């Protein structure tokens, strides 16, 4: 049972909501004015407030502002007969939990109340976590507890004692540059760290960016310019997406790494290379070497120390720690106090393939924190992820293969079929069990196994 306060000057709405919510088992109080509503909130501390925007004494926005001043986490569902965009935006900007138009759809209101109460329940459970973080994170930490990540930490420790060239390989979004920065900070923190994205600069400009140029060496070269290798001094040059470098420039880079010196474009003076070079790629360089698109001698020169970062789908045990770390970072950046994600959402995270890896996880969390209505992130805060997962699991060609040509596993076929039946039939759990030919306990286990969220019963 929850305590709900209804603030509305329409007597019929107050009475009908009081009757309906009381029958649902809630303790209901009502108020016809904003002033009376504020007084009743202070007296009763309700879990949810249903608030009309148009009131006879003060407008609903002022009441919302006063309620949030009393309790910044108050869950207010605003109702209005106005459908304009500006009113809706203002209500959500001011901290309303939800916004419902008149005439009210009782099912829509019921869903909003249940979401608000679920958020309140989760927030109460984690109050102690808000007082003191469970882990002492430092910004720039590499988060990982598995064997592969521990080996990476060991390699970083060893390579930090020298200035050997390092090759970091991993899918996009796995954190290749973070590894490079950690190596740099443990080797030459006081020296420059300079990153160059080899795929973002055309070949002619990339050569000038790396080696610098002399005045008059090409059109537009109005003065001598130092390149990244020169500017980095005894620090680090991070060459991201090294696989995108042209074969011609690969040959020049090979010579620089061998001789540890270079010439500016259009110049004759030899400049010494003192910096450590760290290269990174999301491609399979060995395959590129076989195809003649990457020089084998440059590959072996870069591959003195190699670090492979596993994709997030291969280190699912790290997701809870990553979520905790990233939320700590995001809260600091956005001045928020989001404490975590729901258990239901964590199950979905652990069953997702994460094609964008840690970067995708961080981007999803940033968006969720920005729009979050509570201190615990739930399903409603990750609509993009849920839609994408539904779309991906619904893709199954007649030949039983994925788009990449890989045969689906039995588990994947089963998950796709269950999701399709749920989506196409809109039945309750009992009816779905009959359609699928399985028992209710088996159905519940399947939902948990595949991270399928299903609340309709």
Instruction: Compute the chain's Rg from CA coordinates.
Output: 29
Report the C-alpha gap between 325 and 259 in whole angstroms. Answer: 42
- Give the contacts of 396 (CB within 8 A, at least 6 positions apart): 408, 413, 416
Per residue in 157-214, pLDDT (tens digit) is 889 888 899 999 999 889 999 999 999 988 887 899 999 999 888 887 898 899 988 8
Task: Return the structure tokens found at 371.
Answer: 């729009």
Counting other chains too, the contacts that 247-253 makes at CB distance below 8 Å and 24 or more residues apart are 247/293, 247/294, 247/295, 248/203, 249/203, 249/206, 249/207, 250/294, 250/295, 250/298, 251/295, 251/298, 252/207, 252/211, 253/210, 253/298
Is the full-model pTM beyond 0.85? no
- Per the document, the length of the chain is 457
Report the C-alpha gap between 17 and 112 in whole angstroms. Answer: 14
Residue 398: pLDDT over 60: no
Residue 387: pLDDT over 60: no
pLDDT at 365: 94
- The CATH label, of 3.40.50.2300, 3.90.1170.40, 3.30.2270.10, 3.40.50.300, for the domain at 3-125 is 3.40.50.2300
147-308 has the same fold as 3-125: yes
Ranges 122-136, 352-366, 399-413, most confident: 352-366
315-449: what fold? Helicase, Ruva Protein; domain 3 (1.10.8)
- Give the contacts of 95 (CB within 8 A, at least 6 positions apart): 64, 68, 72, 74, 76
Where exactly are the structural domains of the chain? 3-125, 147-308, 315-449
Report the C-alpha gap between 263 and 214 in whole angstroms. Answer: 10
Task: Return the structure tokens found at 172.
Answer: 């996009």
Considering the segment(s) 147-308 as one domain, its CATH architecture is: 3-Layer(aba) Sandwich (3.40)
């Amino acid at each position: 049972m929850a305590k709900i306060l209804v603030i509305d000057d329409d007597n019929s709405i107050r009475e009908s909501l009081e009757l309906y919510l009381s029958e649902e088992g809630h303790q209901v109080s009502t108020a016809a004015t904003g002033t009376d509503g504020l007084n009743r909130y202070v007296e009763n501390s309700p879990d949810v407030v249903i608030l009309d925007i148009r009131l006879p004494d003060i407008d609903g926005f002022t009441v919302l502002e006063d309620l949030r001043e009393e309790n910044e986490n108050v869950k207010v569902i605003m109702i209005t007969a106005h459908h304009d965009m500006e009113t809706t935006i203002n209500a959500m900007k001011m901290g309303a939990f939800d916004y419902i138009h008149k005439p009210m759809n009782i099912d829509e209101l019921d869903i909003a109340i249940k979401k608000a109460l679920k958020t309140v329940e989760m927030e109460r459970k984690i109050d102690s976590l808000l007082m003191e973080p469970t882990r002492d994170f430092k910004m720039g930490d590499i988060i990982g507890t598995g064997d592969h990540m521990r080996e990476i930490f060991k390699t970083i420790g060893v390579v930090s004692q020298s200035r050997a060239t390092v090759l970091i390989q991993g899918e996009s979004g796995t954190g290749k540059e973070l590894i490079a920065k950690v190596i740099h900070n443990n080797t030459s923190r006081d020296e420059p760290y300079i990153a160059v994205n080899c795929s973002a600069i055309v070949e002619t400009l990339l050569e000038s960016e790396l080696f610098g140029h002399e005045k008059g060496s090409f059109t537009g070269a109005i003065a001598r310019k130092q390149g990244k290798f020169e500017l980095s001094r005894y620090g680090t040059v991070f060459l991201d997406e090294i696989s995108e470098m042209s074969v011609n420039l690969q040959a020049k880079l090979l010579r620089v790494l061998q001789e540890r010196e270079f010439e500016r474009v259009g110049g004759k003076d030899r400049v010494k290379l003192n910096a450590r070079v760290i290269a990174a790629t999301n491609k399979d360089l060995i395959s590129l070497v076989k195809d003649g698109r990457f020089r084998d001698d440059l590959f072996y020169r870069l591959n003195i120390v190699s670090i492979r970062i596993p994709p997030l789908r291969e280190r699912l045990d790290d997701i809870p720690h990553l979520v905790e770390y990233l939320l700590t970072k995001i809260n600091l950046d956005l001045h928020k106090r989001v404490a975590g994600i729901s258990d239901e959402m964590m199950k979905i995270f652990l069953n997702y393939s994460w094609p964008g890896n840690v970067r995708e996880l961080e981007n999803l969390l940033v968006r969720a924190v920005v729009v979050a209505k509570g201190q615990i992130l739930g399903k409603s805060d990750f609509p993009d992820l849920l839609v994408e997962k539904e779309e991906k699991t619904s893709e199954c060609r007649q030949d039983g293969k994925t788009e990449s040509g890989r045969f689906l596993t039995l588990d994947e076929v089963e998950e796709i079929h269950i999701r399709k039946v749920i989506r196409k039939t809109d039945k309750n759990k009992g009816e779905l069990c009959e359609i699928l030919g399985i028992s209710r306990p088996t159905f519940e286990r399947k939902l948990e196994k595949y991270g399928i969220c299903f609340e309709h019963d």
